[in-house]
C-alpha cells in the first residue's frame, strides 16, 4: 500500500511516496497479531453469546406455542439493528473519507518513515474502530425501539381528536414517537459524525506536525455538517410544537393559555431561525466564512434562551396570572374531558346518597350475605398466621394472600382468602443445600390454604375451607403441585433420574412423584445442554449424570416474568391471584393493561402513563405453565394495535370457557387499575372548570389506623360482597372511601366502587354524601375507638407486656341509607408471629362497641340479636381432617401445641420481668429508708 504524502498545494514540503510495506518491525507485528487475535476471540464470544440467547429463547417460546411472537419481534429487532448500523456506518465512512482527503499532506518534521507509517496505521485502525463501535451503538439504539415501529405500522384510529391541533390521538400515540426517534437518531448521528471528523482532522494534522488549518474544503465540510445539525434542531422544535399537548406548566395538563399564545409562536420562530442558521452555514461556503457560521449558530442560541425561556415566563407572569382562570378556563375544560376519557372515568355512574346516621336491625337483616362476608381477616396478619399453621416444613411458605369469592358445594356465595403454598428452597437445611436437591428434587410447591373472610375458630385462628397436604376441605384440588407461581424464581429440571419430592408423607417420610404434564424445554442434545449451561452459568447442566434425553428444563416460572417475556408491551398488575378451578386444577390470573403516556391533555399517573385499559386477562396453568391471553376490551385502540401485530397471541374472552368455565366466575376488577382511577378521580370528579380550578371539592383517600393507634395510612381498596344502592342482590365489588382533600376534616364525602360480577363487570360507581350532613370518616371512627374509655380498659388487659395488639383494616360498608364500620383486632405474642382474631370493633354514627365476634358486636350496636348468620361466629366444628393415612393434621396440631407453649412461656417471662421490676423497686426504697435513718443518727 502506498500513501502519497504530498501537500497537493495545501501543506508544506515536497510530495513523496512512502511504501508502508517496505518497513517492518517483528515485535510490532507480533503485538498487532496478538491484538487482532484477542479482538477476534472477544467478537466470537459476543456473537456466540447472542446466538446462545436467541437459540434458548426460541426453544422457550416454541415450547409455549408462541414461536411466531418471538420470531416477529426478533425479526424486527434484527432489521432495525442492521438498518441502523449500516446507515450510521455509511454516514461515518463517507465523512471520514472526505476528512482524510481534505487533511492529508506532508510532514514538516523530520519524522522517521516507520513512525509516520505506524501513525497512519493507528489513525486508520482508530477510524475503523470508531465506525464499528458507533455502528453497534446506533444499531442497538434502533433495535431497542422495535415497539415504536410495531405500533406505528399497526396503528388504528382512536376516533378522538386533540382539541388544539385537531389530530387523532393516534398521531400522538403512534406517529409522534416514530418522528421523535427518527429526529433524535439523526441528530445523534450528526453529532457523532462531527466528533469523529474533528478527531480525525486533529489526529492527521498532529501527525503531520502542523497546526490545524481550516482550508476551504475543511471549512466547507464542517459547514455542511453544521447545516445538517441545525436541520435536526429545527425538526426538534417542530416536534416540540405538538408536544405542547403534554405540557404540565398551566393550570391543568396539556397546552395552556401561555403554551398556545406564547410558546407556540416562539417554537415556530425557532423552527424558522434554525432553518435560517442552516442556510447561513451553507452560505458561509461562499461568503462570510467562519464568522457567518458562528453568527448563525449564536443567533439561534440567543433566541432559544430569550424567546424560548424568558418570554413565556414573562408572559405568564404579566399577562396570564393576574386573570388566570378566565385565561385558562377553556384549557382546564380540555384537560378534564381528556383525563376522564383516558382513565375511563367518563363512564362512572354518579349517584347521591340519602344518609341516615342510625343503622337499624331491619337494614342489617336485609343484607345477610353482606354480613356473612364482611372481611375480618386482613391479608397481612393472615399471611403470618398461614405461615405458622399451614406450612408444616421450613421449605414451604406463603408469599401473598388473595381475596376472591367462591360458590361452595352447598350453594353459598362466600368471600374467601386464599394463598398458594410455594416452595422456598433457600430454607432447606444447610446439609440439604446442594444442586441436586435445589434443581432436581425440590421442584414445586404444593396445595392451597383457603379460609372464609369472616369466620374464625374459638382460638381466633382461621377456619379453613382448604388446608393441609394433601389438600382437604370443601373444594376439590386434583392437581395441587405448583411449578409456576410468585416465588418460583429459579430453573428446575424434571424427568431426571432423581425422584421429585412431592409432599411429606404419613410417617414424616417424603412422598415422591415425578412430573406428569407438559411444558418446558427438552434437554435432548448435548448442544442444547451446553447452551443452557451457558445461559444459566451452571456447569452442572452439562456434566450431571442425572439428566437424560427426556429431561426438561423449566424456567421463567415466576408469573410476572413469564407473561412479560411473552408480551413485553403489556403493563402487568402487581398482584396475580390464584384460582381453584371446578376441575380441581390451579390457575393464576394475571391482569394486564395497555398503557400509554401519549394521550393528549390527560393527566399522568405517577409519571408512568396517562392512558390505561385492562384489556387482557392472562391465565397461567400452575402445573404446566401454559399461558393464555384473553382480550377483555376489544374496543381499546391499543389492544387493536397489538392484536393486529400478534393475531395468534390473543384469544376472544369467551374462549376462556373452553379452558375452564369456572374461571369466568373469578374474574375481578383489578387493584392497580382501580388505584390509578381513584387517585385521578380525587380531583377529576370535578367536571366544572371553575370548581376544578379552585379545588373547591378536592377529595383525598380516607386514612385508617393500622397495627397500633399511632400508625396511620391510606386505606387500601378492598373487596367486599355487598348490595349496591338500587340493586336487589349482593355482588363482589372493589371499594374505596374518600374524605375532603387538603383540609384537616376527616369526615367521609363519598366512595367509589368497581363491580366484578357477570354483565356488570367493569362498571364504576361513585356515591357522594350530602354536604350538609356529618358522615364519619374511617379515621374519625378510629379516633372514637381509641378514645372510648371502656374499650381502652379492655385493651389494656388484653395487651399486657409481651403481647401485641394489631388493629386491622377498618371497613366502611354502605348498608341501606347508613354506613357500618367494622375493624378486627388481632393479638399475637411478641416472640411468635401468630396473630389471632380476638375482638371486633363495630360502629355507626352513634355508637362504638367491641365484642368477641361480629355477631355479638352487631347485637351490642343494634340492641337486639340479628338472625342467625355465620358472621364472625367462632366455629365449634372440628376443622376438616384428612384421612388417617396423612400426618399433616397431626403435625399441625402438634405445631399448634408447641406454639401455645411458646406463648405461655413468653407470658410467664413477661410476668417474671414485671415481678423482678417490682422487687428492684422495693429494694431501692428500703435502701433509701436505711440511708435516711443512718444519716439521722
- Over residues 876-927, the pLDDT tens digits come to 343 333 333 344 444 444 544 554 555 455 555 555 556 666 666 666 666 6
Comparing 280 with 506, the larger pLDDT belongs to: 280
Q: What is the pLDDT of residue 309?
A: 84
pLDDT at 291 over 90: no
User: Does residue 446 carry a pLDDT above 90?
Assistant: yes
Mean pLDDT of the chain: 88
Joined together, the cell numbers standing for residue 98 give 472526505
pLDDT at 731: 93
| Rounded average pLDDT over 144-154 | 97
Calpha distance 648→637 (Å, rounded)? 18
Phi then psi dihedrals of residue 423, to 5 deg = -90, 135
pLDDT band at 293 (very low <50, low <70, confident <90, very high): confident
Cα–Cα dist 269/129, whole Å: 41
Confidence band, pLDDT 50/70/90 cuts, at residue 18:
very low
Q: What is the pLDDT of residue 26?
A: 64
Residue 814 zone, left/alpha/beta (φ > 0; ψ -120 to 50; rest): beta
Closest CA to 763 of 459, 350, 294, 329: 350
The predicted-structure confidence for 812-845, as pLDDT tens digits, reads as follows: 999 888 999 999 999 999 888 999 999 999 999 9
Mean pLDDT for 22-50 is 78
pLDDT at 216: 84
Q: Which of 222, 213, 202, 224 is nearest to 7 (CA)?
A: 213
| Residue 205 or 708, more confident | 205
CA distance 373 to 550: 49
Scan for cell 365489588, then name that residue. Answer: 733
Q: Give the model's pLDDT for residue 872.
A: 54
Question: Which has the higher per-residue pLDDT, 710 or 171?
Answer: 171
Q: What percent of the chain has pLDDT over 70?
A: 88
Identify the band that residue 87 occupies on the pLDDT scale cut at 50, 70 and 90: very high
The ranges assigned to domains in the chain are 1-10+27-210, 214-331, 694-869
Residue range 167-174: average pLDDT?
Answer: 98
Comparing 756 with 115, the larger pLDDT belongs to: 756
- Tens of pLDDT, residue by residue over 619-640, are 999 999 999 999 999 999 999 9
How remote is the C-alpha of 234 from its chain's centroid? 36
pLDDT for the residue numbered 190: 97
Q: What is the pLDDT of residue 205?
A: 83
**Pairwise CA distance, residues 334 & 321, whole Å:** 19
Give the model's pLDDT for residue 63.
96
CA–CA distance, 783 with 573 (Å, rounded to integer): 34
Q: Do residues 717 and 736 touch, judged by C-beta distance below 8 A? A: yes
pLDDT at residue 76 above 90? yes
* Cα–Cα distance for residue pair 731/669, rounded to 1 Å: 12
Statement: residue 118 has pLDDT above 90 = no
Amino acid at each position: 500500500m502506498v500513501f502519497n504524502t504530498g501537500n497537493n498545494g495545501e501543506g508544506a514540503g515536497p510530495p513523496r511516496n512512502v511504501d508502508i510495506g517496505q518497513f517492518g518491525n517483528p515485535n510490532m507485528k507480533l503485538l498487532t497479531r496478538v491484538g487482532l487475535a484477542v479482538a477476534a476471540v472477544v467478537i466470537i464470544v459476543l456473537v456466540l453469546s447472542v446466538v446462545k440467547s436467541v437459540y434458548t429463547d426460541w426453544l422457550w417460546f416454541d415450547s409455549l406455542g408462541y414461536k411466531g411472537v418471538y420470531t416477529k419481534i426478533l425479526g424486527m429487532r434484527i432489521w432495525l439493528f442492521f438498518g441502523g448500523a449500516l446507515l450510521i456506518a455509511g454516514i461515518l465512512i463517507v465523512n471520514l473519507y472526505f476528512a482524510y482527503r481534505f487533511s492529508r499532506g506532508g510532514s514538516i518534521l523530520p519524522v522517521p518513515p516507520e513512525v509516520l507509517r505506524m501513525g497512519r496505521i493507528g489513525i486508520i485502525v482508530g477510524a475503523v474502530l470508531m465506525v464499528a463501535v458507533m455502528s453497534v451503538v446506533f444499531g442497538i439504539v434502533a433495535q431497542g425501539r422495535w415497539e415504536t415501529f410495531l405500533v406505528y405500522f399497526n396503528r388504528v384510529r382512536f376516533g378522538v381528536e386533540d382539541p388544539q391541533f385537531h389530530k387523532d390521538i393516534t398521531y400522538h400515540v403512534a406517529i409522534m414517537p416514530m418522528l421523535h426517534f427518527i429526529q433524535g437518531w439523526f441528530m445523534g448521528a450528526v453529532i457523532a459524525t462531527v466528533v469523529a471528523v474533528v478527531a480525525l482532522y486533529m489526529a492527521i494534522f498532529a501527525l503531520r506536525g502542523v497546526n490545524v488549518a481550516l482550508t476551504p474544503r475543511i471549512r466547507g465540510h464542517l459547514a455542511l455538517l453544521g447545516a445538517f445539525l441545525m436541520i435536526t434542531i429545527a425538526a426538534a422544535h417542530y416536534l416540540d410544537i405538538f408536544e405542547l399537548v403534554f405540557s404540565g406548566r398551566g393550570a391543568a395538563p396539556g397546552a395552556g393559555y401561555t403554551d398556545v399564545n406564547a410558546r407556540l409562536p416562539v417554537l415556530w420562530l425557532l423552527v424558522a431561525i434554525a432553518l435560517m442558521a442552516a442556510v447561513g452555514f451553507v452560505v458561509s461556503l461562499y461568503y462570510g466564512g467562519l464568522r457567518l457560521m458562528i453568527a448563525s449558530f449564536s443567533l439561534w442560541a440567543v433566541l432559544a434562551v430569550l424567546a424560548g425561556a424568558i418570554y413565556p415566563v414573562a408572559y405568564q407572569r404579566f399577562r396570564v396570572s393576574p386573570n388566570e382562570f378566565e385565561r385558562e378556563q377553556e384549557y382546564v375544560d380540555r384537560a378534564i374531558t381528556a383525563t376522564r376519557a383516558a382513565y375511563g372515568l367518563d363512564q362512572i355512574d354518579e349517584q347521591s346518597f340519602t344518609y341516615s346516621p342510625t343503622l337499624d336491625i331491619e337494614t342489617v337483616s336485609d343484607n345477610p350475605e353482606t354480613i356473612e362476608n364482611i372481611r375480618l381477616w386482613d391479608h397481612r396478619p393472615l399471611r403470618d398466621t398461614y405461615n405458622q399453621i399451614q406450612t408444616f416444613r421450613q421449605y414451604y411458605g406463603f408469599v401473598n394472600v388473595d381475596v376472591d369469592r367462591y360458590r361452595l358445594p352447598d350453594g353459598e356465595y362466600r368471600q374467601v382468602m386464599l394463598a398458594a403454598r410455594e416452595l422456598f428452597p433457600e430454607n432447606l437445611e444447610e446439609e440439604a443445600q446442594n444442586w441436586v436437591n435445589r434443581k432436581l428434587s425440590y421442584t414445586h410447591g404444593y396445595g392451597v390454604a383457603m379460609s372464609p373472610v369472616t369466620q374464625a375458630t374459638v382460638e381466633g385462628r382461621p377456619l379453613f375451607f382448604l388446608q393441609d397436604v394433601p389438600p382437604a376441605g370443601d373444594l376439590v384440588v386434583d392437581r395441587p403441585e405448583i411449578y409456576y407461581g410468585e416465588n418460583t424464581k429459579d430453573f428446575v429440571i424434571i424427568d431426571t433420574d432423581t425422584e421429585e419430592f412431592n409432599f411429606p408423607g404419613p410417617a414424616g417420610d417424603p412422598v415422591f412423584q415425578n412430573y406428569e404434564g407438559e411444558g418446558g424445554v427438552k434437554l435432548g442434545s448435548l448442544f442444547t445442554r451446553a447452551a443452557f449451561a451457558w445461559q444459566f452459568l451452571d456447569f452442572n447442566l452439562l456434566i450431571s449424570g442425572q439428566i437424560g434425553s427426556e429431561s426438561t428444563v423449566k424456567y421463567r416460572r415466576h408469573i410476572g416474568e413469564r407473561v412479560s417475556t411473552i408480551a413485553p408491551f403489556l403493563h402487568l398488575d402487581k398482584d396475580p391471584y390464584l384460582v381453584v378451578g371446578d376441575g380441581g386444577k390451579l390457575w393464576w390470573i394475571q391482569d394486564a393493561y395497555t398503557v400509554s403516556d401519549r394521550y393528549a391533555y390527560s393527566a399522568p399517573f405517577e409519571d408512568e402513563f396517562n392512558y390505561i385499559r385492562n384489556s387482557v386477562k392472562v391465565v397461567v396453568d400452575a402445573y404446566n405453565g401454559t399461558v393464555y391471553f384473553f382480550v377483555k376490551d376489544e374496543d381499546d385502540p391499543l389492544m387493536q394495535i397489538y392484536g393486529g401485530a400478534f393475531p395468534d397471541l390473543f384469544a376472544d374472552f369467551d374462549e376462556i370457557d373452553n379452558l375452564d368455565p369456572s374461571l369466568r366466575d373469578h374474574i375481578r376488577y383489578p387493584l392497580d387499575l382501580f388505584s390509578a382511577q381513584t387517585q385521578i378521580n380525587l380531583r377529576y370528579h370535578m367536571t366544572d372548570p371553575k370548581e376544578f380550578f379552585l379545588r373547591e371539592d378536592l377529595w383525598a383517600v380516607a386514612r385508617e389506623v393500622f397495627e397500633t393507634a399511632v400508625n396511620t395510612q391510606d386505606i387500601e381498596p378492598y373487596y367486599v360482597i355487598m348490595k349496591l344502592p338500587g340493586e336487589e342482590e349482593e355482588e363482589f365489588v372493589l371499594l374505596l372511601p374518600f374524605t375532603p382533600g387538603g383540609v384537616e376534616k376527616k369526615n367521609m364525602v363519598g366512595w367509589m366502587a368497581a363491580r366484578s360480577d357477570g354483565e356488570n363487570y367493569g362498571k364504576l360507581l361513585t356515591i357522594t354524601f350530602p354536604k350538609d350532613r356529618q358522615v364519619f370518616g374511617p379515621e374519625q371512627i378510629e379516633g372514637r375507638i381509641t378514645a372510648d374509655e371502656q374499650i381502652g380498659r379492655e385493651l389494656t388487659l388484653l395487651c399486657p407486656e409481651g403481647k401485641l395488639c394489631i388493629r386491622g383494616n377498618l371497613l366502611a360498608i354502605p348498608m341501606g341509607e347508613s354506613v357500618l364500620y367494622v375493624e378486627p383486632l388481632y393479638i399475637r405474642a411478641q416472640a411468635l408471629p401468630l396473630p389471632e382474631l380476638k375482638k371486633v370493633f363495630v360502629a355507626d354514627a352513634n355508637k362504638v362497641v367491641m365484642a368477641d365476634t361480629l355477631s355479638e358486636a352487631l347485637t351490642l350496636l343494634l340492641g337486639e340479636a340479628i338472625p342467625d348468620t355465620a358472621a364472625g361466629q367462632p366455629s365449634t366444628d372440628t376443622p376438616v381432617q384428612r384421612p388417617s393415612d396423612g400426618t399433616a393434621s397431626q403435625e399441625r396440631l402438634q405445631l399448634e401445641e408447641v406454639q401455645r407453649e411458646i406463648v405461655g412461656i413468653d407470658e410467664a417471662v413477661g410476668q417474671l420481668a414485671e415481678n423482678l421490676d417490682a422487687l428492684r423497686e422495693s429494694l431501692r426504697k428500703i435502701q433509701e429508708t436505711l440511708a435516711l435513718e443512718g444519716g439521722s443518727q
